[in-house]
Structure 1
Amino acid sequence: MIQNSKLFIAAAATLVAAVVLNPTPEQHRARIKEAIAERSPLAGFLGVGALTAFASTYHPLGLASYTTVNDHTVSIGVLGMVFVLQPSKDT
């Protein structure tokens, strides 16, 4: 009984943390700019990251979030972290 309540409390705390720490649109956009500049200094210098970030659409899911550009997922965020996806070779 006590172990079940500890498990429930841990799960509830994790869910609350996920909601509270869900990255904002600004966090996604900043990370997109950084990632593009890291991958290609020339693209960073030319502002490709800023343009991509500006064109992105933010989609909150409560526990997580993601951004898209032209129906392609660009970044995924959860628990305060934002991961920028590598573009696929076929698009």
Structure 2
Amino acid sequence: MSQKSLIYALVAGAVVALAFVLNPSADQHRAKIKAAVAERSPLAGALGIGALAAFASTYHPLGVASYTTVNGKTVSWGAFGMVFFIHPSPEK
């Protein structure tokens, strides 16, 4: 194995290890859901709709990433310590 290949393998291993360590927790997902609902609708935030949605969410860890669902729909996903809220599309 060449030195260049060894360096690439070590860097890839470090990135995967970092992804495992920084995988967002369920609490981080719930906090993001609450904040996103409050940002989208201040009234819903004041009424605690975001807290209710966060409470009803189900956390799914994948090791290097994670996501949450509410009623079978993905509402957030996260990796490397960051959580992203997915704005649900209206039913057709």
TM-score, normalised by the number of residues in structure 2: 0.95
Q: CA deviation at 1:2?
A: 1.1
Matched, 1:38 2:35: no
Consecutive unaligned residues of structure 2, counting only runs of 5 or more, are: none
Tell me the equivalent position of 1:28: 29
- 1:32-90: per-residue Cα shift (whole Å, max 9, x none)? 00111111111111111000000000000001000001000010010000001011122
- Which secondary structure state, in structure 2, belongs to the residue aligned with residue 73 of structure 1? strand
Count of matched residue positions in the alignment of Structure 1 and Structure 2: 91
Query: RMSD over aligned Cα, in angstroms?
Result: 0.9
Consecutive unaligned residues of structure 1, counting only runs of 5 or more, are: none
Identity score, percent: 59
Tell me the equivalent position of 1:59: 60
Tell me the equivalent position of 1:19: 20
